[in-house]
Homo-oligomer: A and B are copies of this chain.
Amino acid sequence: MKVRVVAKILEANDRIALENRKLFDRANVFVVNLMSAPGAGKTSLLEKTLAADTGLKIGVIEGDIAGSDDAERIEKLGAPVVQINTGGACHLDANMIYEVLGDLPLETLDLLFIENVGNLVCPAEFKVGEDLKVMLLSITEGHDKPLKYPLMFQESSALILNKTDLAPYTNVDMNKIKRDALSLNPAINIFEVSCRTGEGIGAWTAWLKAKARKG
């Protein structure tokens, strides 16, 4: 019974995700669903990406349970941004996205980031109409994460390992993270970055630009 309710919710969600997809295609905008645990650095990555010389016109939808801190950080960089407050819900769903699309100048954008609620579990289950999913993992979260939270690693086209500048002060085994992520998803693209120092951001934005141009 419980399973049937969940299946129905996902089905309804996927229908709306397809509607979003049509709107994105019509506007010719490439859409990335950005996911991670709380505090892995999603907004910091967006700040670095917006500041990079990609030549892309980028918009952002910020998803949070409460507050508008992230949208304010993005707005400072001059990008079109909308904040969604889920009011308790632990992930964004397709309908939340559908309802704010009118508030963004979609036709003028090349790339739209949808920054999901910080959660390594539920966001991976809900399509929002994206072209691809990208996940961040802060290396301070530890090397056991891929095998403990497999779905997000399986669903993501890219894994960004952030806070690499802290590696010398921890006992994290970065090779184990990479090995386990690749065992779950052999096609995943892995980038090592530090949003604090800027190291590694260039390789990520180059990949992103190639994807968005093809999309």
* Residues in chain A within 8 A of chain B (CB atoms): 2, 5, 9, 37-39, 64-67, 69, 88, 90, 117-122, 138, 140-142, 144-145, 147-151, 163, 165-166, 169-171, 196
Q: Which residues of B contact A67 (CB under 8 A)?
A: 144, 147-148
Instruction: Determine how many copies of this chain the complex contains.
Output: 2
A38-B37, A119-B90, A120-B119 known; A147 vs B5 contact (CB < 8 Å): no
Closest B residue to A69 by CB, please name it: B144
Closest B residue to A151 by CB, please name it: B88
Task: Please state if A148 and B37 are interface contacts (CB–CB under 8 Å).
Answer: no
Task: Please state if A118 and B64 are interface contacts (CB–CB under 8 Å).
Answer: no
Task: Please state if B148 and A66 are interface contacts (CB–CB under 8 Å).
Answer: yes
How far, in whole Å, are A38 and B171 apart by their CA atoms in the complex? Answer: 16
Apart from A119-B119, A119-B121, what 19 extra A-B contacts exist at CB < 8 Å? A2-B9, A5-B5, A37-B38, A38-B120, A39-B138, A39-B145, A64-B148, A65-B148, A65-B149, A66-B147, A69-B147, A90-B119, A117-B121, A118-B120, A118-B148, A118-B149, A138-B141, A140-B140, A171-B196
Closest B residue to A142 by CB, please name it: B39
How far, in whole Å, are A65 and B9 apart by their CA atoms in the complex? Answer: 21
Q: Which residues of B contact A69 (CB under 8 A)?
A: 144, 147-148
Task: Please state if B169 and A66 are interface contacts (CB–CB under 8 Å).
Answer: no
A-B contact list, 23 entries, CB within 8 Å: A5-B5, A37-B37, A37-B38, A37-B120, A38-B148, A39-B138, A39-B140, A64-B148, A65-B121, A65-B150, A65-B151, A66-B149, A66-B150, A67-B144, A67-B147, A90-B90, A117-B121, A119-B119, A122-B122, A138-B140, A165-B169, A166-B169, A170-B196
Smallest CB–CB gap between A135 and chain B, Å?
12
